[in-house]
Structure 1
Amino acid sequence: MGKRNHQPSSYTVCSNTYALLPYIDGNRSWTRVIEDRSEFVVEESVYKTVSSSCSFYRGSLESATLYSQKAVRVKHKPPIIIGEYYGNPLLFFPTHSPKNKESVWLNFDAVELVESDDSGKGSIVYLSNGVTVPLDVSPIALRNQHSFAGSLRRYFKNAQQVHQHQMVYLTKRRYPPRRQHPLD
C-alpha cells in the first residue's frame, strides 16, 4: 500500500472501488480502500463507508438490505446494491455481518477468483487489478456470497428490463381522442 501524508475523512464507493477492508489504528477502526489503480486508508469504519455511500446514491443500507433479501431470499450477510452507476448496479457483498468490525466488502465485478489458502481454512481473493486479499473466511462461504451477488445482479437487470418495457408501452399507447362535454 502506497504511503500518503493525508488520509481522507470519508469516501464514497464508485465503480473503481474493488474492496473495503477494516484497518485498525490503535483503538480506531478505519477503512482500507482498494481501487482499480490505488490503495489508501479512510478515517471512518467500513460500515460507515458503506452506509454513507448508500445515502450518497439516494438510498440507505437498510433499504438496500431489504431489497436484496426480497430478491435473493438471503437473510444473513446479503449482498447489496450500494447504488446505480450509469445504469449498472454497484454490487458489493460482505464477508461477515455488515456491523461486524471484521467485515470486508468486495465488489462483485472485481472478484476474479476465490481459492483456499495454505491452511485450507481461509481464502485468497484475486481481484481483477492483480491485488490478492487474504481472508480468514472459508472459500466456500465466499463463493456462496459471490453467487448470491450474481443472483442479485440478474434480479436487478430483469427488473430494469421490465421497467423499460413498461415505459415503452406507455409511450406508444394511443389514447382515444378526448370527447367534448355537451355543454362546451
Structure 2
Amino acid sequence: MGKKNYPLSSYIVCSNTYALIPYVDGHRTVTRVIEDRNEFVIEQSIYKTITSSCSFYRGSLESATLYSQKAVRVKHKPPVIIGEYYGNPLIFFPTHSPKNKDAVWFNFDAIDLIESDASGKGSIVYLSNGETVDLDVSPIALRNQHSFAGSLRRYFKKAQNMHKQQLVYLSKPKLALRRQHPQG
C-alpha cells in the first residue's frame, strides 16, 4: 500500500467497514480502512475514528464500553456497539486496549474465520470480502474477543425484543387493565 495522499481527514464507521488497521507512514501512524469493496488510508487515528463514530451515532465510547461491560462482563478490551444501523447493532472489538496505537478494530459481522499463522503465535483473520489480515495476536485471544462480541449481540437483541414486547403491552392499556383486575 503505497498511498501518500489522504483524501479523507476523518471517517465514520458503518456496516460496510470491516477493519481499522494502524498504518505507519514515515513518522506518523494513520488508519488503513478496509471496507467490503474498498480500501484506503485516512489521516485520523483509529481511536479518534472510533470515538467520533460513537458520537455520530449519538453515543460515546465510554457509554458503549460501560454497556458492554455490563452485558458480557468483560473489563479488558470489551467489544462495543458503536451504533445501531437499521435496527442491528454495529459491533466492533479491539485487538489491544482501545487507546493503544497498535490496536486493530474489527467489525464482528465481517469476520469469517480466525486461524493460527505458520508460527502458531500470531493470527490470520479472514474477512467476508476475501481479504486477510495478519496479526501478532494470539488466535485464542482473538477468538475470545469475537465470541464476546457475539455474546454482546445476543444481549442487545434480547433487550431489543423485550423492549418491543413492552411497547406492545403498553399500547393495549385496556387489555392490560383487564388482565390485572379480572371480573368475577
TM-score range, shorter chain: over 0.9
2:63 counterpart of 1:63: yes
Within-5 A mapping of 1:31-180 = 31-174=31-174
Give the stretch that moved more between structures: 60-69 or 1-10. 1-10
Unaligned runs of 5+ in 1: 177-184
**1:14 — aligned with what?**
14
**CA offsets, 1:28-47, max 9 Å, x none?**
22110000000000101100
Contact 1:4/1:40, CA 8 A, preserved across alignment:
no
Give the stretch that moved more between structures: 135-144 or 27-36. 27-36
Cα distance in 1 between the residues matched to 2:120 and 2:7: 35
Contact 2:6/2:41, CA 8 A, preserved across alignment:
no
- 4+ aligned runs moved over 3 Å, structure 1: 1-6
What secondary structure does 1:145 align onto?
A: helix
The structural deviation recorded for 1:172 is: 1.1
Give the alignment's TM-score, normalised by structure 2: 0.92
Structure 1 residues 38 and 126: alpha-carbon distance in aligned structure 2, compared to 1, 3 A threshold: same
Q: How many aligned positions are there?
A: 176
Cα distance in 2 between the residues matched to 1:6 and 1:20: 15
The structural deviation recorded for 1:7 is: 2.5
The structural deviation recorded for 1:24 is: 1.5
**CA offsets, 1:98-134, max 9 Å, x none?**
0000000000000000010011110000000000000
**CA offsets, 1:49-84, max 9 Å, x none?**
001000000000000000000000000000000000
Identity value in percent: 78
What secondary structure does 2:171 align onto?
A: helix
The structural deviation recorded for 1:26 is: 2.2
| Cα root mean square deviation, aligned | 1.5
Contact 2:3/2:41, CA 8 A, preserved across alignment:
no
The structural deviation recorded for 1:97 is: 0.3
**2:30 — aligned with what?**
30
